[in-house]
């Protein structure tokens, strides 16, 4: 199933740990970011960075890039590709270096100081970006080049870079008059602050709630591992002798799956779906109203009907009509299936003598029961085969068999938290390819979800191929007591998914930073991640990594058959809750007029319009829909489904030729994983596959057609 990774652009917070025993002995605050790091592979020196380093480095980085941009804009020589486009692509090294660390680490563990600095920096960075994008002299140089490329002899990649910069300037307001530009600056500052506040509120709301259980009878139905984890959570929060469940998914989801206490399931689930909707100081409804209205105004200022029209112009989908066409076609398969599933669950409730109607907080509990009835598949039975370290070795082995990569654990290198692990990634010929960090367990300040990003992206600089520093972050089930981290099937799939994004970053092989790695459209970026999911539970792959954590026994064929037999079970629900959220996103962002928005009424009307059944809510309700209100996926949540058209068709090529077929893997690496944004995504896809994708494989992938 296609996932909900909060990829790359999530802006969340972290504080650096007190691992400063080896602090630099001299230097002004922020100086650590002024030059390339003197560390193995140029890894960020987390053991030397302190909070006080960030603000001076940001301010100096802004100053330096301003000077670099002015030098390009005021260059007395006629504009050329080298002195204008390439020169721009090289600007901002210091600012980029500190930003990658600051915003990257904000995902792991926040504190008030980091939150405050992020808010302080927000208008400064917005103004800095606008100063570049609205620099008339700079834009005129770019426009001169873009208007006539006849004698420039550009490669495809070079033209793509020129076109990307030109469109970037136009979409950032360079063609507006002075009054319009001033209003655009105000809009950008407001939006930057509001999206930041939305994410901050959501993080607080997620962390502030806890369901405390002090009566052992209220643990009825919960597996021993879930109970142990809740006891450890209670102890860490000063509730020793009790059990605590929170709103991180590894906590709330198993409670909903197994708890026999319906009233407690309801309490926990409502706390989850009411985040940001509690009419308190962390409420997100007014923020959403402001964001939506400001986006409408900005889009129309730039000449677009709606925010969705503005966003989608640069995606594969191109326009809202194409997005709605895909979502509605899938909805027509998903909703009837979800209704059948709801009827089955209601029949199960009735058979047990339950005198109530199925509600959304019942779905996971009765689905788990029905799965055991239909497939004799109990997730607690399979989890012992999915020790986190074994699953990680599994994705490493898949990458080795497909692309010849190997992963060497790095010791005594700077990391930002003791739970982080780092690996050197070697190519098939033994050459250095990348560094890969993993950070897989939830912590109090870490944002929910899973994502990939980089501390440094790939580029060719002074004829040297600078290799990337890539990381995956997750919130998977923690180890408890003497039991290692045993992942759920969903978590296994998510780990494979995020590793697919990591491969996209690691294997990048372009010339220019702005086109590197995952710098592609939202509805193409999920192809490398989602195709990796197909390997996760393939019988041939499971035999490689799924081994019992106590005995070392390879997962038996019987369990593999059960896992695969149940692979499309509950798919009506899974697809319906996803598409409902994607349609909600589109409803907000196809608005063409500003006005008063009652967020809850708007959401209710949007769901009524598509006839969503009462037993299911959208995967993300508005007030905690961080993808679209703080995470860079506005008018873009559909992208996971759009990319599934690609990934399902692409994996068919592996199915036809062998899942580890070297020729097929080589084509996928050459035309998809290594190319970044150096060419049109559909052209890249056709070079891999030989044709445009066939959408029938998406429907087959979800079990809607045979």
* Gap between the Cα atoms of 618 and 207, Å rounded: 22
Q: How many CB atoms lie within 10 A of CB 204?
A: 17
From the number of C-beta atoms within 10 Å of its C-beta (0-12, 13-18, 19+), residue 123 rates as: middle
- Residue 226 corresponds to which tokens in the numbers above? 């879930």
Judge contact between 71 and 45, C-beta under 8 A: no
* Gap between the Cα atoms of 128 and 432, Å rounded: 35
CA dihedral for 540, 541, 545, 551, sign (positive or negative): negative
Judge contact between 74 and 40, C-beta under 8 A: no
* Gap between the Cα atoms of 694 and 174, Å rounded: 39
* Gap between the Cα atoms of 386 and 393, Å rounded: 11
Q: Answer left, alpha or beta for residue 279, where phi above 0 means left and psi between -120 and 50 means alpha.
A: left
The DSSP-derived string for 343-398 is: HHHHHHHHHTT--S---GGGHHHHHHHHHHHHH---HHHHGGG-BHHHHHHHHHHH
Strand partners, 387: 486
Nearest to 1 by CA among 534, 368, 546, 440: 534
* Gap between the Cα atoms of 456 and 472, Å rounded: 13
Q: Answer left, alpha or beta for residue 611, where phi above 0 means left and psi between -120 and 50 means alpha.
A: left
Question: Does residue 157 have an active-site annotation?
Answer: no
Is residue 618 classed as helix, strand or coil in its secondary structure? coil
* Gap between the Cα atoms of 510 and 555, Å rounded: 40
Is residue 620 classed as helix, strand or coil in its secondary structure? coil
Phi, psi of 466 (to 5 degrees): -75, 120
Q: How many CB atoms lie within 10 A of CB 552?
A: 8
Judge contact between 679 and 162, C-beta under 8 A: no
Count of H helices and E strands in the chain? Answer: 27, 9
**Rounded to 5°, angle at Cα 16 from 630 and 7:** 30
Of 60, 65, 498, 526, which one is the catalytic site residue?
498
Alpha-carbon distance values, 579 to 320, 620, 643 (Å): 15, 10, 14
Q: Which residues belong to the active site?
A: 498
């Amino acid at each position: 199933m296609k996932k909900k990774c909060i990829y790359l652009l999530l802006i969340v917070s972290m504080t650096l740990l007190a691992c400063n025993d080896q602090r630099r002995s001299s230097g002004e605050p922020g100086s650590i970011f002024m030059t390339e790091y003197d560390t193995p592979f140029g890894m960020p020196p987390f053991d030397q960075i302190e909070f006080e380093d960030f603000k001076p480095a940001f301010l100096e980085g802004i100053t330096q890039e301003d000077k670099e941009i002015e030098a390009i804009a005021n260059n007395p020589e006629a504009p050329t590709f080298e002195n204008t486009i390439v020169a721009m692509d090289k600007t901002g090294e210091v600012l980029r270096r500190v930003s990658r660390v600051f915003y990257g680490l904000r995902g792991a563990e926040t504190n008030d100081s980091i939150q405050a600095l992020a808010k302080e920096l927000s208008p400064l960075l917005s103004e800095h970006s606008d100063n570049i994008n609205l620099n008339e002299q700079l834009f005129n140089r770019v426009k001169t080049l873009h208007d006539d490329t006849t004698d420039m002899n550009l490669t495809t990649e070079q033209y793509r870079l020129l076109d990307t910069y030109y469109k970037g300037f136009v979409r950032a307001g360079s063609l507006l008059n002075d009054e319009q530009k001033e209003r655009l600056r105000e809009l950008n500052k407001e939006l930057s602050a509001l999206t930041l506040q939305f994410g901050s509120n959501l993080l607080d709301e997620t962390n502030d709630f806890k369901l405390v259980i002090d009566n052992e009878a209220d643990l009825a139905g919960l597996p021993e591992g879930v109970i142990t984890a809740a006891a450890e959570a209670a102890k860490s929060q000063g509730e020793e002798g009790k059990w605590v469940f929170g709103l991180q998914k590894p906590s709330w989801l198993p409670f909903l799956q197994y708890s026999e206490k319906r009233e407690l399931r309801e309490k926990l689930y409502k706390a989850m779906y009411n985040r940001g909707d509690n009419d308190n100081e962390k409420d997100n409804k007014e923020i959403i109203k402001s964001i939506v209205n400001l986006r409408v105004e900005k889009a129309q200022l730039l000449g677009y009907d709606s925010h969705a029209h503005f966003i989608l112009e640069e995606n594969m989908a191109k326009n809202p009509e194409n997005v709605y066409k895909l979502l509605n076609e899938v909805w027509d398969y998903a909703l009837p299936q979800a209704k059948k599933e709801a009827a089955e669950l209601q029949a199960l409730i009735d058979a047990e003598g339950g005198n109530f109607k199925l509600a959304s907080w019942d779905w996971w509990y009765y689905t788990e029961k029905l799965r055991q009835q239909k497939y004799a598949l109990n997730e607690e039975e399979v989890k012992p085969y999915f020790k986190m370290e074994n699953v990680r070795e599994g994705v490493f082995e898949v990458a080795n068999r497909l692309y010849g990569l190997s992963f060497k654990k790095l010791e005594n290198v700077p990391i930002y938290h003791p739970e982080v692990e780092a690996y050197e990634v070697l190519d098939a010929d033994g050459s250095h390819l990348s560094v890969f960090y993993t950070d897989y367990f939830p912590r109090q300040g870490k944002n929910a979800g899973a994502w990939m990003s980089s501390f440094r992206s790939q580029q060719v600089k002074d004829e040297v191929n600078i290799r990337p520093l890539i990381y995956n972050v997750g919130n998977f089930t923690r180890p408890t007591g003497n039991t290692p981290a045993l992942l759920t099937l969903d978590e296994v799939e998510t780990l494979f998914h995020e590793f697919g994004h990591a491969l996209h970053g690691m294997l990048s092989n372009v010339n220019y930073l702005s086109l590197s790695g995952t710098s592609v459209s939202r509805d193409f970026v999920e192809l490398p991640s989602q195709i990796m999911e197909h390997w996760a539970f393939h019988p041939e792959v499971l035999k490689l990594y799924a081994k019992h954590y106590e005995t070392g026994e390879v997962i038996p064929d019987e369990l593999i058959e059960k896992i695969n037999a149940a692979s499309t079970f509950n798919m009506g629900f899974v697809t319906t809750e996803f598409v409902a959220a994607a349609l909600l996103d589109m409803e907000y962002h196809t608005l063409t007029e500003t006005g008063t928005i009652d967020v809850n009424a708007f959401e209710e009307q949007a769901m009524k319009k598509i006839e969503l059944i009462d037993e299911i809510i959208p995967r993300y309700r508005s007030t905690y829909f961080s993808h679209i209100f703080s995470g860079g996926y506005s008018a873009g949540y559909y992208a996971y489904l759009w990319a599934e058209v690609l990934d399902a068709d692409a994996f068919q090529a592996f199915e036809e030729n062998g899942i580890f077929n070297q020729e097929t893997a080589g084509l996928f690496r050459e035309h998809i994983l290594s190319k970044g944004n150096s060419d049109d995504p559909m052209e890249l896809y056709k070079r891999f596959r030989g044709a445009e994708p066939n959408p029938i494989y998406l429907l087959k992938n979800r079990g809607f057609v045979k």
